[in-house]
Chain A
Amino acid sequence: MPETTPPVTTQDDARPARALRLGVAGPVGVGKSSLIATVCRALADELRIGVITNDIYTDEDARFLRSAGVLDPERIRAVETGACPHTAIRDDVTANLLAAEDLEQDFAPLDLVIIESGGDNLTATFSPALVDAQIFVLDVAGGGDVARKGGPGIGRADLLVVNKTDLAPYVGVDVEQMVADASAAREGRAVVALSRTDEASVAALRAWLLSVLERFREGVHVAQDPGPMAPHFHADEEGGVLHSHGDGDSDHEHPHEHAHEHAPAH
Chain B
Amino acid sequence: MTFLAPHPATVALLLADARLPGGGHAHSASLEPALRGGMAPADVPAWMVGRATTVSLVEAGTAVVTARLLAGAGPVTAADAGGPDDRVDGVVRAWAARTPSPALREASRLLGRGYLRVARTLWPGSAAVRVVARHDAAARRAPGAPHGTGTPPRAVVLGAICAAAGMPPADVVRLTVYDDAQTAASALLKLEPLDPLAPARWVLDACAAAEEHVLRVAACATPEDIPASGAPLTEGWAEAHAHETQRLFRA
A residues near B (Cβ < 8 Å) are 1-5, 56-59, 63, 79-84, 87-88, 91-95, 97-98
Contacts and interface: CB of A to CB of B under 8 A. Distances in A.
17 contacts: A2-B116, A4-B117, A57-B247, A58-B246, A58-B247, A63-B245, A80-B248, A82-B25, A82-B27, A82-B28, A82-B248, A82-B249, A82-B250, A83-B249, A92-B24, A93-B21, A95-B26
Contact of B250 (A1, A2, A93, A95): A95
A59 B246 CA distance: 7
B110 A92 contact: no
A89 to B, nearest CB: 12
A79 B25 CA distance: 12
A3 B133 contact: yes
Given A87-B25, A93-B21, A94-B114, A3 B120 contact: yes
Nearest to B137: A3
A193 to B, nearest CB: 35
B121 interface: yes
Interface string B118-143: 00110000000000010011000000
B230 interface: no
Contacts of B21: 91-94
B117 A82 contact: no
A59 to B, nearest CB: 5
Contacts of A98: 23, 110, 113-114
A92 B137 CA distance: 23
Main secondary structure of the interface of A (DSSP, over half): loop
B157 to A, nearest CB: 12
Main secondary structure of the interface of B (DSSP, over half): helix
B251 to A, nearest CB: 9
B1 to A, nearest CB: 24
B113 A80 contact: no
B20 to A, nearest CB: 8
Contacts of A83: 190, 248-249
Contacts of B22: 92, 94
Contacts of B65: none
B113 A4 contact: yes
A56 B22 CA distance: 19
B58 interface: no
A69 B80 CA distance: 47
Contacts of A5: 117
B187 interface: yes
Contact of B247 (A4, A80, A93): A80
A95 B21 CA distance: 10
A84 B187 CA distance: 11
Nearest to B110: A98
Given A3-B137, A80-B250, A82-B187, A95 B23 contact: yes
B26 to A, nearest CB: 4
Interface string B234-251: 000000000001111110
A42 B137 CA distance: 37
Contacts of A97: 117
Interface in B76-121: 110, 113-114, 116-117, 120-121
Nearest to A129: B21
A98 B110 CA distance: 8
Contacts of A81: 25-26
Contact of A2 (B23, B26, B110, B121): B121
- By Cβ-Cβ distance, the 7 closest A-B pairs, closest first, are A94-B23, A92-B21, A94-B114, A82-B26, A2-B117, A83-B190, A80-B250
A84 B249 CA distance: 10
Contacts of A3: 120, 133, 136-137
Given A2-B120, A3-B133, A98-B114, A80 B23 contact: no
Contacts of B27: 82
